Amino acid sequence: MRELLAAMKALADENRLRIIAALDGRELCLCQIVELLGLAASTVSRHMSILHQARLVESRKQGRWTYFRLDEAPPEEVGAAREAAIGSLQHDAVAREDRKRLKAILKLDPEKLCRAQSECKG
């Protein structure tokens, strides 16, 4: 029951739901998620930490980059909650707009995107 509660709490946030939907069927670099949400990298990192602790996503490091994807082997109830959330977003207007924006973001070089975000920080 604790795992399900952690997953439900993690999913009770619009930005985390948007992240879960964006990761459905793909792996994204942190900078791509930052670009999609339009939030500070530190804020997105905190969201990713919450999703990771709830076993909704997993990550891998590749050099300086951190990539995220949906957890491939979540506990059954966590996976069911995640799939229900993703399914409920199929016709959501924000999720539909995110899918459009994500198509454009995926065409960008992640390294250049990350570098540009770093330069914006000053």
CATH number of the domain at 49, please.
Answer: 1.10.10.10
Burial of 107 (0-12, 13-18, 19+ CB in 10 A): exposed
Count of domains in the chain? 1
Per-residue confidence (pLDDT) for residue 119, from 0 to 100: 61
Apex 105 CA angle, 104 and 107, nearest 5: 70
Expressed as residue numbers, the domain containing 83 is 2-121
Question: 111 pLDDT band (50/70/90 cuts)?
Answer: confident
pLDDT in tens, 42-69: 999 999 999 999 999 999 998 888 999 9
Q: Please check the confidence at residue 108 and state whether its pLDDT lies above 80.
A: yes
Amino acid identity for residue 67 in this structure: Y
